[in-house]
Each structure stands twice: as C-alpha cells, then as structure tokens.
C-alpha cells in the first residue's frame, strides 16, 4: 500500500485495543490508540488520519453519537466494530450515520486488517487521481474545487451531502438515508430542507435547473450522483475485479 497508512483506533478497553494496535502495526499500519471520545475529535481535527476504527461495546448511543460528531467535522473513512454485528437496526443506523464498514468485535485481527485495506482502497488510500473533468473533492479541507481550480465554498451540510452521494456514485440514495446522515433527522415529505440543500449544491456545481445532469432526482427514492465524467459523456472503465469508484475524489 506504499507509505504506511495512519489510522486511529478508539477502544475504551486498553488491553484489547493494545493487542489489536500491535497486530495492525506489524502489518504495515501506523496506529494511534485513543480511549476517549473527547480526545478523538481533537485528534481527527489536528492530525487527520487515513481511517478511524471505532469499537463500540455496550454504549451504542454514546458511540453512535461519537460517529455523528466525527462526521460533522471530517469525511475520514470509518469502520465500526460492534459486540453484536448481527443486529440489523444498529448496523443500518451506523451505516446511515456515515460508517464505511461494520463488523463484529469477535472478528479476527486478520479480518479487521482486510476490512481496513478494503476501505482504504475504496477511499483511494488517501489520494485518488482526479477525473478528466478536472473536478476535485478534498476530504481534509472538506471542499470541492472546480475545473478552474477555484473552490466552490461548500457549507458543511453541502459537503456532507456531496460526499454521501459521491460514495454511492451511480446508485440512487434514499432521502431518509441522506436526511439522517446530513441533517441528523428522519426525512418527512413536508420537510423541504433536504431538497433545498440539493438545489443549493446543484447551483455550486453549475448543475441547477431542469437540465441537471450531475445530481439527478429519482422519483419515489431520492437522488443519484452520476459522476462528473459520466455527465460529460466520459466513462472510466473500472479496474478488473473492482467496484467502480468515484474517481473524482482527491486528498489535498
């Protein structure tokens, strides 16, 4: 994977966390272990890592709250480990709040390592070349840059919305999932906040009006991001054996 990726491991049980950190370190990762939520947000903001592993054991509300707070300040890829990874409600909540993967606390260190590598590959391992369109998304700055190199001045909510759609490029994302991830509340048909946010984001993408090409409405479902290159008639073939990635993302 080239230069060793630096990850943050959050685990209140120091002995178990230390063993996991040691295994990951022996396999090419730089690991910062943090036991508390308070230090996590400061750490993520001051020294943005390549990935966060959040181990929740019994206090689900507290740990999902931490995941929500991380997502409010950073788009860093995040894996959540859980005591009961088979609980569908908990798993769906974590994924909708922005977790990139979710697995059991009882999974072996080897499986955790494989999941980390997979998420890092999907995120570009910290850097993915921009597409031919010239658009660039910069996770560390939480900003979008146009083909002219100028920032589009996204608000936090606009960035979270774009990030959520780009991660699911080509796949319609339900309004409820977007509302939970971006607005932190369930979606209601009479609530126009999400739709208005999409309109503002489209304007900054020069994609507003009836001819919107980048972010399309899907009747009865939500919205889909088709990809900058796809909207301009340029498709990038996926690598053999891989899922197509939103290649416009780039670390800055």
177-213 pLDDT tens trace: 888 888 888 888 888 899 999 999 998 888 766 567 8
Which neighbouring-strand residues pair with 7? 31, 51
DSSP state of 65: H
pLDDT at residue 36, rounded to an integer: 61
Q: Please tell me the pTM assigned to this model.
A: 0.51
pLDDT at residue 2, rounded to an integer: 39
Between 178 and 241, residue with greater pLDDT: 178
- Which tens digit of pLDDT belongs to each residue from 128-145? 333 455 777 877 677 888
Helix/strand/coil for 143: strand
User: Does residue 224 contact residue 112 with C-beta atoms inside 8 Å?
Assistant: no
DSSP H helices in 74-192: 88-96, 109-122, 156-167, 175-178
- Rounded to whole angstroms, the Cα distance separating 21 from 13 reads 12
- Rounded to whole angstroms, the Cα distance separating 112 from 120 reads 12
Residue 26 has pLDDT above 50, yes or no: yes
Q: Which CATH class is domain 6-122?
A: alpha beta
**Which H or E element spans position 66?**
helix 60-73
Weakest-pLDDT range from 15-19, 79-83, 232-236, 239-243: 239-243
Helix/strand/coil for 93: helix
CA-based Rg of the chain, rounded to a whole angstrom? 18
Same fold, 6-122 and 136-231: no
Domain residues of the chain, as ranges?
Answer: 6-122, 136-231
Report the pLDDT averaged over residues 35-43. Answer: 69
Give me the sign of the Cα torsion angle 128, 146, 175, 224: negative
- Which tens digit of pLDDT belongs to each residue from 41-93? 777 777 778 889 988 765 666 778 888 888 777 778 889 888 766 667 777 78
Weakest-pLDDT range from 32-36, 60-64, 188-192, 222-226: 60-64
Distances (CA, A) of 140 to 49, 75, 126, 162, 185: 9, 8, 10, 14, 25
Q: Which residue has the tokens 């991660």?
A: 167
Residue 165 CB partners (closer than 8 Å, separation 6+): 173, 178, 215, 223, 224, 225
Residue 6 has pLDDT above 80, yes or no: yes
Q: Which CATH class is domain 136-231?
A: mainly alpha
Total residue count of the chain as it appears in this document = 252
């Amino acid at each position: 994977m080239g230069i060793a990726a630096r990850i943050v491991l959050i685990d209140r049980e120091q002995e178990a966390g230390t063993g996991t950190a040691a295994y990951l370190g022996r396999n090419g990762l730089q690991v910062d272990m943090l036991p508390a939520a308070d230090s996590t947000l400061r750490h993520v903001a001051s020294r943005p890592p390549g990935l966060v592993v959040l181990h929740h054991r019994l206090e689900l509300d507290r740990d999902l709250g931490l995941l929500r707070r991380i997502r409010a300040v950073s788009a860093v890829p995040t894996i959540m480990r859980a005591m009961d990874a088979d609980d569908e409600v908990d798993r769906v909540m974590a994924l909708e709040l922005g977790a990139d993967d979710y697995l059991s606390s009882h999974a072996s260190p080897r499986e955790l390592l494989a999941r980390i590598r997979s998420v890092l590959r999907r995120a570009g391992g910290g850097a993915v070349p921009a597409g031919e369109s010239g658009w660039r998304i910069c996770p560390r700055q939480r900003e979008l840059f146009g083909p002219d190199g100028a920032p589009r001045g996204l608000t936090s909510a606009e960035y979270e919305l774009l990030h959520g759609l780009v991660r699911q490029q080509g796949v319609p994302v339900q309004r409820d999932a977007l509302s939970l991830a971006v607005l932190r509340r369930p979606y209601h048909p009479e609530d126009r906040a999400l739709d208005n946010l999409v309109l503002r984001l489209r304007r900054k993408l020069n994609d507003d009006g009836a001819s919107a090409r980048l972010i399309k409405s899907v009747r009865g479902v939500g919205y889909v991001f088709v990809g900058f290159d796809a909207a301009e008639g340029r498709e990038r073939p996926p690598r053999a054996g891989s899922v197509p990635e939103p290649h416009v993302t780039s670390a800055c």
